[in-house]
Homo-oligomer: A and B are copies of this chain.
Amino acid sequence: MHLDTAQLAALAAVLETGSFERAAVALHVTRSAVSQRVKLLEERVGQVLVRRAAPCTPTEAGQALLRHAQQMALSEADALRSIAGSGAGLAPVRLALGVNADSLASWFIDAMAQAAEPTPGAAPPITFDIHVEDQDHSSELLRQGRVMAAVTADPQPVQGCQVVRLGTMRYRALASPAFMQRHFAHGVTGTALAQAPVLVFNRKDALQERFMRRIARRELAPPVHWLPSSQGFVAASLAGLGWGMSPDQLAREAIDAGHLVELVPGKPVDVALYWQFWRLNVQALQRMTQAVQQAAKAALLP
């Protein structure tokens, strides 16, 4: 079975822009042309591919075809560039990437800026589709085919992916001096940790639990503030709402100024980060891989 390129492009545009209207504008065709192409593709494979909602999202089958469409688009961009001898005037190449919030809030934008830096005559421009996901779960995005590469704590290569080690993010358990005084005046014991409010990014964030287990050697259930924001974490620690694990990249200034202190000095939790990416010989992904390695080397511990 061969799939129609224009139909795949319509599917990709709907899923990338989130609506049939925006897809039509992006493809310079009418809304009904987009709608018809997607419908024909759905009839061809015999499955619903797009959940019609605001925004439109892919079904499982839609996800698989989107991955295929994206790989084709990457490879086609390279082919056209070789033929044309230059990337000038070519449509941008879209890179869907997974990244943990703390990397995005600290060093990852540098890598994006460097990879997207226009190199006239050399390569088509890159646009990004950034998915934020916990480092312990971002390899799942690769497995689902929702991204082409990801910053992850998972060193096991996902099928079809290559892995490079990026370095280590060092997390410290931090709180304001007033919070320390109120909750840990008699030391950071298991009993004190079981009472003191703790900040946790979301249900996937196990860093605070890991730290507590090292101190208490048992499961604790302190009051939890769920707060899915990297800078929000630092701000909430500063405001005395709770203690939480923040990376040096985000907390350094507050630590140096004495506004945040370590619960237990010299007990950081180190998280090794990896870059997993589709084993595809395409230029945009190679440029991004280089930029990620460089930016990570400058920002992370070896």
Verify A226–B130 contact, CB threshold 8 A: yes
Q: Is A52 an interface residue (CB 8 A)?
A: no
* Interface residue stretch chosen among A71-79, A228-236, A273-281: A228-236
Can you tell how many copies of this chain the complex includes? 2
Give the residues in chain B near A226, CB-CB below 8 Å: 128-130
Residue in chain B with minimal CB distance to A105: B231
Give the residues in chain B near A225, CB-CB below 8 Å: 112, 116, 127-130
Contact flags (1/0) for A224-259 with B, using CB distance below 8 Å?
A: 111111111001100111000000000000000000
Question: In the assembled complex, how far is the CB of residue A262 from the closest CB belonging to chain B, in whole angstroms?
Answer: 21
Give the residues in chain B near A28, CB-CB below 8 Å: 221
Residue in chain B with minimal CB distance to A125: B223
Give the residues in chain B near A236, CB-CB below 8 Å: 109, 112-113
Q: Is A42 an interface residue (CB 8 A)?
A: no
Q: Is A104 an interface residue (CB 8 A)?
A: yes
Q: Is A39 an interface residue (CB 8 A)?
A: no
**Interface centre among A18, A22, A109, by most B CB within 10 Å?**
A109
Give the residues in chain B near A19, CB-CB below 8 Å: 203
CB within 8 Å for A101 and B229 given contacts A197-B127, A221-B26:
yes
Give the residues in chain B near A223, CB-CB below 8 Å: 92, 125, 127
Give the residues in chain B near A241, CB-CB below 8 Å: 109, 112-113, 116, 128
Give the residues in chain B near A197, CB-CB below 8 Å: 92, 116, 125, 127
Q: Is A132 an interface residue (CB 8 A)?
A: yes
The residue from B25, B110, B132 contacting A228, defined by CB atoms under 8 A apart: B132
Q: Is A204 an interface residue (CB 8 A)?
A: yes
Lowest 9 A-B CB distances belong to which pairs?
A18-B203, A55-B203, A113-B239, A26-B221, A25-B221, A109-B235, A129-B226, A92-B223, A128-B225
* 6 extra A-B contacts, CB within 8 A, seeds A17-B221, A19-B203, A109-B239: A26-B221, A92-B197, A105-B231, A113-B240, A116-B241, A129-B226
Q: Can you list 6 A-B contacts (CB < 8 A)?
A: A109-B236, A110-B239, A118-B182, A127-B223, A130-B229, A132-B229
